[in-house]
Amino acid sequence: MCTLREYRQGDEGMVFALLESALKRYGLSVNPEETDADIQDIDESYIRSGGAFKVLEDNGAVVGSYGLYTIDEKTCELRKMYLKAEYKGKGLGKKMMEDAFIVARSLGFSTMVLETNS
């Protein structure tokens, strides 16, 4: 059974592995110095800046994630929303997206933006 929960210190390695696996499926690689620098310090990049980061956990393993990155007082960016391939098609992505909207509203954001690779 999968549980969506707040990111905790110690999750970084599993989040990085999830990111690496997801990007590899699309012929991309992790770039920790630039586009993926936010994963190096999730607390600083997301939590302390007024955003949020959640992971989807199954039996202690991180199988999905999403982050709400603060752009300004009213705007956040949905980032790092990934789901392991074997968990797709089960409504878990929808569950994460719905949760992201609820959390964004609770943090006072009225606009959510998305940037993605093609």
Q: Helix or strand or coil: residue 73?
A: coil
Radius of gyration of the chain (CA): 13
Consecutive 10-residue averages of pLDDT for the chain (118 residues): 94 93 90 88 94 97 97 97 95 97 98 83
Confidence (pLDDT) at 118: 57
Do 83 and 63 touch, CB atoms closer than 8 A? yes
**One-letter amino acid of 88:** K
Confidence (pLDDT) at 117: 64
Cα(84)–Cα(115) distance, rounded to whole angstroms?
Answer: 20
CA of 3: how far to CAs of 6, 56, 59, 62, 95, in Å? 10, 6, 9, 10, 10
The predicted model scores a pTM of 0.93
